[in-house]
Amino acid sequence: MAIRIKSKWSKTVKRDKTSEDFASALSYIGWRLALDKARNLHGEDFEYTSDHQRITVIVEFMSFQVHLADRLLFSDDHPEEFRNDVMNKIGSHSARTMQENCEDLFGPGDYRTGYIKTLNLRSGEYSTYEFNPGDSNYSIYRHLAKKIQDAMGLSQTNKWVMDQIVDIDAVEMCKKFVEVYNSLMR
């Protein structure tokens, strides 16, 4: 299923874009893509046993995209202060979105802290892998797939989820995220 994502700034916005603007847009796009890929797994007959499991998968997809944003900002040679500001704000925006969605599903609680811990942990893990927007990036996709496999379990139904992520979902998500990132940064 293809997802439509607005990838251009409104023509009514004439001012220079701030780190807040970029962070908000990238966080929203990341959330939409993560949700789409979590739904896609279900549509491909992979099985979630609970909403907690589904949220864990969304967190993994989000963590991957937040790391992609950092890699893209770094490779574009943005000033360190701008890059740090965007990354901190992406973390804040995405944590707020996760908190709101988890409260809707599970009731009041502190979901933000666990989400931020996962973002930081995955960032360190993903940083050990090569990444180039134009390449296959098999190793980093495989790491994402392993984290999602761990979250979904090794049931007979889910034993091929890693192949789905590495061969299809991670490739599509990365391609779309990079495309939108490039469009927003112009």
CA 15, CA 19: separation in Å to the nearest integer? 13
Q: Where are the domains of the chain?
A: 19-185
Percent of the chain with pLDDT over 70: 92
Write the CB contacts of 84 (distance below 8 Å, at least 6 apart in sequence).
none
What mean pLDDT comes out for the span 114-124?
Answer: 96
pLDDT at 1: 46
What mean pLDDT comes out for the span 144-161?
Answer: 92
How would you label 14-34 residue by residue, b for 16+ Cβ within 10 Å and e otherwise? Answer: eeeeebebbbbbbbbbbbbbb
Tokens for 84, please give them: 């740090």
Q: Give the torsion sign (CA, 64, 178, 161, 110).
A: positive
CA 185, CA 171: separation in Å to the nearest integer? 21
pLDDT at 135: 82
Q: Which of 32, 28, 29, 39 is nearest to 1 (CA)?
A: 39
Q: pLDDT tens for residues 62-100?
A: 999 999 999 999 988 888 999 999 999 999 999 999 999
CA 132, CA 153: separation in Å to the nearest integer? 29
Residues making up the chain, counted from first to last: 186
Residue 60 reports pLDDT greater than 70: yes
What mean pLDDT comes out for the span 175-186?
Answer: 90
pLDDT at 3: 60
Tokens for 185, please give them: 């940064």
pLDDT at 155: 87
Q: pLDDT tens for residues 16-58?
A: 788 899 999 999 999 999 999 999 999 999 999 999 999 999 9
Residue 139 reports pLDDT greater than 60: yes
pLDDT at 66: 97
Between the alpha carbon of residue 35 and those of residues 54, 55, 101, the distances in Å are: 9, 9, 11
pLDDT at 154: 86
